[in-house]
Amino acid sequence: KVLIDVPHSDLAEELAQSQTKIQVLQDTLQQVLDRREEERQSRQLLELYLEALKNEDSILSKVAESETVPRKEMDVVDTGTSSTGPSAKTALSDQILAALKEKPAPELCLDSQDLELVLKEDAQALALALRWDKQKAEALQQACDQELSKRLQQVQTLHSLRSTSKGKKTLP
């Protein structure tokens, strides 16, 4: 920050460099500072978003728990085996299934591990667990796959930017 605030003519004289090189150096330093500030703000926003998701998930799970107990009893009384059939079994938690059913874009609400679980799930079993048709379940899996790919690309881009900025630090 101090190097940016110094007039470029004074800094050029002190470092025995041309004013244009110093101006480029100061611009680069300003870009690095701006990027760091954007990253800090992004991290804060992400932390707030994750905290809000946790709060929402805990509220949904409490609501789901209070609703699922009577439903299970009703299933046993009414049909006997409605939720115990082998084809309705999934590796997904009730919380993930609730998010998939209730959210308009559930792939945006799930973390990457949950997205991977949804992708690994058999489309037919997923459709039965959600009481959807197979095409809708497959469309959901495609949306989850696209979101996971997008997140991976963002991470790779961030790593690339970091390695690029580290490479610039070694230049004279």
16: left (phi over 0), alpha (psi -120 to 50) or beta: left
pLDDT of residue 36: 92
- Whole-number Å distance between alpha carbons of 149 and 133: 25
Architecture of domain 94-167: Orthogonal Bundle (1.10)
Q: What is the DSSP annotation of the chain?
A: -HHHHS-HHHHHHHHT--HHHHHHHHHHHHHHHHHHHHHHHHHHHHHHHHHHHHHHHHHHHHHHHHHHHHHHHHHHHHTSSTTTSGGG--SS-HHHHHHHHH-SSGGGTS-HHHHHHHHHS-HHHHHHHHT--HHHHHHHHHHHHHHHHHHHHHHHHHHHHHHHHHHHHT--
Residues of the chain short of pLDDT 70, as ranges, are 63-89, 167-172
In this prediction, residue 126 carries a pLDDT of: 87
121, with CB counted inside 10 A (0-12, 13-18, 19+), is buried
Domain map (residue ranges) of the chain? 8-65, 94-167
pLDDT at site 171? 52
Task: Answer whether 118's CB lies under 8 Å from 141's CB.
Answer: yes
Q: What is the pLDDT of residue 67?
A: 58
Residue 157: its pLDDT value, please? Answer: 84
